[in-house]
C-alpha cells in the first residue's frame, strides 16, 4: 500500500532516543564519538551520525549508497557489523538522506554515487576500519568500567562476542547497550593497522548466506518507492513531453484538458507541458487532451538510428578518423602488419532501454518562498540529486530535506545529472504551492529514456603461421556517455570515457601487442550508463571476434583461449570449471555450445551458452547457460549469485531482443509490446560456480 509521510524532518527522529553512543565515520574510519542523552544532546554534533549504539542494545548503521535491487543496503552495513562484532539481529539500517561527503564513496572522490559495482569495493576498507575502531573503543570503555589495566587489551584477556564485551579471566560481560549507558568514554579514537582487523577465518557475517534486509518488505508489498509516496495535500502531475529532444511548446490549448474533473492547472516546463490534478487518473486524462504546437527545428530532428549507426561504422573503419587511446601495449599495428594472416570483423549494437520496473517518479513539496523543499525521490546519487534541487530552486542545501527512496530498478537510468522527473516535480510544486507527485507512464519512460549508446566496432587481429595471435586492434566508434549525462564529470576525465569503453581493454588475456581506441562520435540520442556500461557491447564484440580468430587459426575456441590464458591461473581455473559444468565435450542433438571469457574490474568470468535454432521460424533460444565467476571475497553469496544470474539474463535479452530505434528524432518504441525483453519462459536454466 502507498505510504503517507509527514512533512517533518527525519534527522531528529534518527538521533532521538535514550543514552547512546554516536560515531562519525569518514573515508579513513572513525572521526568522532559522543555520548548522548537523546536528540538534544546530539543535535549540534557534526558532521553526521553514521553508527549509533543505543542503551537498548540496538545498533543503527547508516547506509550511504542507494538501493536499487542490487542488495548493498545489506552488504555495506554487514561489513561494518562484522568488524564491530555486532549481533546482526539487533542491527538496523538507515538510508543516508543527505549529500554528506564525509562518507562519500572514495572511488568517486567522495561523491555519494552508486554505480559501476563500486559500493562494496569503495566502502569495504573504511567500513571495516570504522567497525574495528568502534569495537576497540567499546572494549576500552568496558575495561575502564571494570578498572582493568590498559594492558588487558593487549593480552587479549578482553574479547567480544556478538554485541558484548567479555573478560575471559573473570567471566564478566557487558553488552554494547550497557556500555552505551556508561557515563565515560575513551578520550581518543584508537589507530588500528591491518593486523588489528579480523582475519577472514574469523568472519561470522561476511561470506555467510544471510537474508537480505530489503527482501521481506518487497515480497510483502510493504516497501515504499517514490511512485508510492503520498504526503498530505499532494497533487499529481502528468507531463506531455516534446516528441523530439530540444523542442519547446509554441502554442498550448488547454481548454479540453482543464475541463477534465479534478484537473487544476497547466504548467509550462522547459521541454513539456504538465497538467496538475487532484488524482493521477485525472492528470493523465487531462494530459491526453492537451493540444500543443511544438517547435520543429531542433537539431535532434535529424537523429535516425539506422543512418547514425551506419555513420558510426564508417568512422570505425576509417583509419584516418582521430581516436583516443583506451589501452595500448606493444605495437599492435606492426604486429598485425607482419602477421601471416589478418582477420577482420565489424560489429554493431543498437540503443538499449533500461527497462527498470519502476518508471520515473518524484514527489516535491516546495515552500512558499520557492527556496525550501522536501523531496522524495529514487536516484543513484544524493550528491547529484541535491545539485539538481538547488539549481532548479536557486537555493542552498540547508533549505532542502531529501528522502532517498528505494528504487524499483535503475541499471543506470537514475544517474543523469539533469534528473528531469525531479526537476518537473519541483517546478510544478512551486507553481501550485502544494506537494506534487510527477509520475511517468511506461510509454513516457520508453519514449523519453536515456539509452545505452549505439556503437560500431571494428576488430582486427594477426595470426602467425603456427596459428598464434599476433596483434589485436579494437576500435570502438560511439559517443561519449559521460559527456552527455554528466558534463561536469566529463570536464575532469576527458577524453577517457570508462562508461563508453569499459571492456575493450581485454586485460586478462596475454596480448603483448594490443591497441584499443575510442572514436568519439556525435551524440544522436540521450545517453546514460546501462548495466555493465561499455562492457555490454565491447566484451560481446571482443569474444565474438575471438571465435572468428580461433576459427581462422584452425583452433577450437576453448583451446585458443586456454593458450591466451596460460599466464592467468585464475582464468584457466574458471575455464576448466565452466567446461566441467557444461560437459563441453559431449555431443549435442540440435543445439550447439558457445564459449566466452571476460572480466569487469578485477572480476573474471567464463560462460557457456547452449544455443538452439528453430529453422522454421529463425528464432534463436538459449535453453541452458553455465557460468564460473571469480570475484574475490564475496560479502553476500546469495546476492552475488543473484547478480550473476541477472547479468546473464540482461546479456541474453540484449543480444536476442532489445532494440531502440529513432526516426526523425522520435523514439519508435512505446512499451514492452514493441520493446521486447527476455520473457520468463525464455530464461535459460542457469548454473553458476565460483
How many angstroms separate the CA atoms of 462 and 334, rounded?
A: 10
Q: What is residue 3's predicted lDDT score, i.e. its pLDDT? A: 59
Residue 672 and residue 680: Cα distance in Å, rounded? 14
Nearest one of 220, 262, 207, 213 to 238, comparing CA atoms: 262
Quick: pLDDT tens for 82-97: 999 999 999 999 999 9
Q: Using CB atoms within 10 A of its CB, is residue 327 exposed (0-12), middle (13-18) or buried (19+)?
A: middle
DSSP assignment of 236-276: EEEEEE-SSTT--EEEEE-HHHHTSTTEEEEEEETTEEEEE
Residue 457's SS3 state is strand
**Is 75:120 a contact under the CB 8 Å cutoff?**
yes
Q: For the chain, list residues with pLDDT below 50.
A: 1, 7-17, 38-48
CA dihedral 520, 526, 531, 532 (to 10 degrees): 10
Q: Are 511 and 564 in contact (CB under 8 A)?
A: yes
Tell me, letter by letter, the H, E, C secondary structure of 514-552: EEEEEEECCCCCCECCCCCCCHHHHHHHHHHHHHHHHHH
Q: What pLDDT, on a 0 to 100 scale, did the predictor assign at position 149?
A: 85
Tell me what pLDDT residue 5 has.
55
Which grid cell sits at 30?
A: 572513525
pLDDT value for 303: 97
Q: pTM above 0.85?
A: yes
- Give the C-alpha separation, 298 to 310, whole Å: 22
Q: Alpha-carbon distance 499 to 486, whole Å?
A: 11
What are 394-401's contacts with CB under 8 Å, separation 24+? 395/371, 397/99, 399/367, 399/371, 399/372, 399/373, 400/372, 400/373, 400/374, 400/375, 401/9, 401/10, 401/97, 401/373, 401/374, 401/375
Residue 351: strand pairing partners: 660
670 SS3 class: coil
Q: Residue 288's closest CA among 261, 249, 262, 254?
A: 254
Q: Which strands, in side-by-side order, build the sheet including 173-175?
A: 158-161, 164-167, 173-175
| Residue listed under C-alpha cell 537555493 | 395
Q: Is the peptide bond before 492 cis (omega within 30 degrees of 0)?
A: no
Dump strand ranges (E) for 417-502: 436-439, 455-463, 469-478
What phi, psi does 207 have (nearest 5°)? Answer: 85, 0
Distance CA 387, CA 403 (A): 14
Q: Which H helix or E strand runs over 337?
A: helix 332-337
DSSP 201: G
pLDDT at 690 (0 to 100): 83
Half-sphere exposure of 487 (CA within 13 A, CB side): 4
Distance from C-alpha of 55 to C-alpha of 638, rounded to nearest angstrom: 33
| Ordered domains of the chain (ranges, CATH) | 11-216 (3.30.365.10), 226-297+360-439 (3.30.365.10), 305-352+451-689 (3.30.365.10)
Neighbours of 585 (CB within 10 A): 8
Q: Is 322 helix (H, G, I), strand (E, B) or coil?
A: coil
The secondary element (H helix, E strand) that includes residue 649 is: helix 637-656
Beta bridge partners of 672: none
Among left, alpha and beta (phi > 0; psi -120 to 50; other), residue 618 is left
Give per-residue burial for 153-177: e unless 16+ CB within 10 Å, then b. beeebbebebbbbbbeeeeeebbbb
Backbone angles phi, psi at 352, to 5 degrees: -135, 140
Q: Which of 353, 417, 267 is nearest to 650 (CA)?
A: 353
Q: How much is the pLDDT for 510?
A: 96
**pLDDT at residue 14 in the model:** 36
Nearest in space to 432 (alpha carbons), one of 368, 363, 362, 360: 368
Sign of CA dihedral 429, 113, 16, 35: negative
The pLDDT, as a whole number, for residue 327 is: 98
Residue 643 burial (C-beta neighbours within 10 Å; 0-12, 13-18, 19+): middle
Amino acid at each position: 500500500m502507498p505510504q503517507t509521510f509527514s512533512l517533518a524532518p527525519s534527522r531528529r527522529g534518527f538521533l532521538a532516543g535514550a543514552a547512546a553512543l554516536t560515531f562519525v565515520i569518514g573515508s579513513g574510519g572513525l572521526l568522532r564519538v559522543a555520548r548522548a542523552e537523546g536528540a538534544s544532546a546530539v543535535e549540534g554534533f557534526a558532521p553526521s551520525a553514521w553508527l549509533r549504539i543505543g542503551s537498548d542494545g540496538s545498533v543503527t548503521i547508516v547506509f550511504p549508497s542507494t538501493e536499487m535491487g542490487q542488495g548493498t543496503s545489506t552488504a555495506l552495513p554487514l561489513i561494518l557489523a562484522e568488524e564491530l562484532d555486532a549481533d546482526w539481529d539487533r542491527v538496523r539500517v538507515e538510508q543516508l538522506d543527505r549529500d554528506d561527503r564525509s562518507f562519500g564513496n572514495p572511488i568517486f572522490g567522495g561523491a555519494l554515487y552508486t554505480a559501476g559495482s563500486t559500493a562494496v569495493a569503495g566502502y569495504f576498507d573504511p567500513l571495516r576500519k570504522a567497525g574495528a575502531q568502534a569495537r576497540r573503543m567499546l572494549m576500552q570503555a568496558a575495561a575502564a568500567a571494570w578498572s582493568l589495566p590498559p594492558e588487558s587489551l593487549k593480552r587479549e584477556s578482553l574479547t567480544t562476542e556478538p554485541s558484548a564485551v567479555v573478560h575471559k579471566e573473570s567471566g564478566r560481560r557487558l553488552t554494547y547497550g550497557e556500555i552505551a549507558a556508561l557515563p565515560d568514554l575513551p578520550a581518543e579514537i584508537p589507530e588500528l593497522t591491518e593486523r588489528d582487523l579480523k582475519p577472514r577465518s574469523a568472519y561470522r557475517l561476511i561470506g555467510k548466506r544471510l537474508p537480505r534486509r530489503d527482501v521481506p518488505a518487497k515480497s510483502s508489498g510493504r516497501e515504499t518507492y517514490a511512485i508510492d509516496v503520498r504526503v498530505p495535500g499532494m497533487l499529481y502531475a502528468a507531463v506531455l513531453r516534446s516528441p523530439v529532444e530540444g523542442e519547446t511548446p509554441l502554442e498550448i490549448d488547454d481548454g479540453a484538458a482543464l475541463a477534465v474533473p479534478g484537473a487544476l492547472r497547466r504548467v509550462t516546463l522547459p521541454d513539456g507541458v504538465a497538467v496538475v490534478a487532484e488524482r493521477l487518473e485525472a492528470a493523465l486524462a487531462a494530459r491526453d487532451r492537451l493540444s500543443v504546437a511544438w517547435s520543429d527545428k531542433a537539431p535532434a530532428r535529424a537523429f535516425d538510428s539506422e543512418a547514425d549507426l551506419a555513420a558510426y561504422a564508417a568512422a570505425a573503419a576509417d583509419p584516418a578518423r582521430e581516436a583516443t587511446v583506451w589501452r595500448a601495449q606493444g605495437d599492435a599495428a606492426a604486429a598485425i602488419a607482419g602477421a601471416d594472416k589478418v582477420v577482420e570483423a565489424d560489429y554493431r549494437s543498437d540503443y538499449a532501454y533500461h527497462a527498470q520496473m519502476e518508471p520515473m517518479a518524484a514527489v516535491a513539496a516546495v515552500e512558499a518562498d520557492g527556496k525550501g523543499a522536501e523531496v522524495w525521490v529514487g536516484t543513484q546519487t544524493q550528491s547529484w540529486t541535491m545539485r539538481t534541487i538547488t539549481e532548479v530552486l536557486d537555493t542552498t542545501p540547508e533549505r532542502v530535506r531529501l528522502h532517498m527512496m528505494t528504487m524499483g530498478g535503475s541499471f543506470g537510468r537514475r544517474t543523469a545529472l539533469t534528473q528531469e522527473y525531479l526537476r518537473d516535480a519541483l517546478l510544478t510544486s512551486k507553481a501550485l504551492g502544494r506537494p506534487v507527485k510527477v509520475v511517468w507512464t511506461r510509454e513516457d519512460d520508453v519514449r523519453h529514456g536515456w539509452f545505452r549508446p549505439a556503437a560500431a566496432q571494428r576488430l582486427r587481429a594477426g595470426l602467425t603461421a603456427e596459428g598464434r595471435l599476433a596483434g589485436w586492434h579494437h576500435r570502438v566508434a560511439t559517443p561519449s556517455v559521460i559527456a552527455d549525462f554528466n558534463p561536469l564529470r566529463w570536464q575532469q576525465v576527458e577524453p577517457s570515457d570508462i562508461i563508453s569503453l569499459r571492456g575493450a581493454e581485454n586485460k586478462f588475456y596475454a596480448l603483448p601487442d594490443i591497441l584499443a581506441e575510442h572514436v568519439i562520435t556525435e551524440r544522436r540520442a540521450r545517453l546514460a550508463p546501462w548495466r555493465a556500461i561499455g562492457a555490454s557491447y565491447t566484451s560481446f564484440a571482443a569474444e565474438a571476434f575471438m571465435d572468428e580468430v580461433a576459427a581462422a587459426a584452425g583452433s577450437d575456441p576453448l583451446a585458443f583461449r586456454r593458450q591466451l590464458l596460460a599466464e592467468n591461473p585464475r582464468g584457466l581455473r574458471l575455464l576448466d570449471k565452466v567446461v566441467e559444468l557444461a560437459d563441453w565435450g559431449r555431443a549435442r542433438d540440435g543445439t550447439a555450445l558457445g564459449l566466452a571469457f571476460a572480466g569487469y574490474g578485477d572480476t573474471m568470468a567464463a560462460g557457456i551458452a547452449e544455443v538452439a535454432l528453430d529453422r522454421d521460424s529463425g528464432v534463436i533460444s538459449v535453453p541452458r547457460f553455465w557460468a564460473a565467476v571469480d570475484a574475490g571475497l564475496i560479502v553476500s553469496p546469495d546476492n552475488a549469485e543473484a547478480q550473476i544470474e541477472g547479468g546473464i539474463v540482461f546479456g541474453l535479452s540484449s543480444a536476442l531482443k532489445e532494440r531502440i530505434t529513432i526516426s526523425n528524432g522520435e523514439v519508435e518504441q512505446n512499451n514492452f509490446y514493441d520493446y521486447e525483453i527476455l520473457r520468463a519462459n525464455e530464461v535459460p536454466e542457469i548454473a553458476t560456480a565460483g
